[in-house]
């Protein structure tokens, strides 16, 4: 089979491998995954050798100056979610960012207090 033809799943999607070229081919972050709405924040640690980081790493790290949800980073920087997760994994490995404790246990539903706050917030809209 012609290998170049395999690079396309469908024409709308574009070149399939391209986004992950930004992650050196990695499709999963190092360590644990990041939930869609996980909140991440810069730890304040200083990046060491800047040559180890891509421009995407740098932009993401800047984006984490305040606590921010992973999906918002993907949306704001126009990067596919999977790519953002891999790059955030690198930043976490280097101690530059951390996942902030969330309201809900991993994968669990938020507690009643949060649920009530959401209800009240919606009513006040």
**Near another protein in 25-44, by CB under 8 A:** 25-30, 35-39, 41-44
Q: Are 88 and 29 in contact (CB under 8 A)?
A: yes
Report in angstroms how near the CB of residue 53 gets to another protein at its nearest. 5
- Smaller CB separation from another protein, 25 or 88: 25
Instruction: Pull the structure tokens for residue 11.
Output: 């024409």
Report in angstroms how near the CB of residue 80 gets to another protein at its nearest: 4
Question: Which tokens in the block code for residue 22?
Answer: 């930004």
Task: Say whether residue 12 binds another protein (CB under 8 A).
Answer: yes
Binds another protein by CB under 8 A, chosen from 2, 11, 88, 105: 105
| Residue 45 sits in the site that holds another protein (CB under 8 A) | yes
Q: Is 11 in the site for another protein (CB under 8 A)?
A: no
114 touching another protein, by CB under 8 A: yes
**Residue whose tokens read 């969330």:** 102
* Beta carbons within 8 Å of 33's beta carbon, 6+ residues apart: 85
**Hey, which bits of the chain come out as E strands?**
39-42, 68-69, 97-100
- Interaction pattern, residues 56-95, with another protein; x per rule: CB under 8 A: -xx--xx-xxxxxx-xx-xx--xxxxxx------x--xxx
Distance CA 88, CA 63 (A): 11
């Amino acid at each position: 089979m012609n290998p170049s033809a395999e690079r396309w799943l469908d024409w709308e999607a574009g070149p399939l491998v391209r986004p992950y070229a930004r992650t050196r081919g990695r499709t999963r972050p190092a360590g644990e995954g990041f939930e869609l709405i996980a909140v991440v924040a810069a730890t304040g640690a200083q990046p060491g050798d800047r040559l180890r980081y891509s421009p995407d790493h740098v932009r993401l790290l800047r984006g984490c100056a305040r606590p921010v949800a992973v999906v918002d980073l993907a949306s704001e920087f126009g990067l596919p979610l999977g790519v953002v997760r891999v790059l955030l994994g690198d930043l976490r490995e280097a101690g530059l960012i951390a996942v902030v404790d969330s309201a809900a246990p991993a994968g669990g539903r938020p507690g009643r207090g949060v649920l009530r706050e959401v209800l009240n917030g919606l009513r006040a809209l």
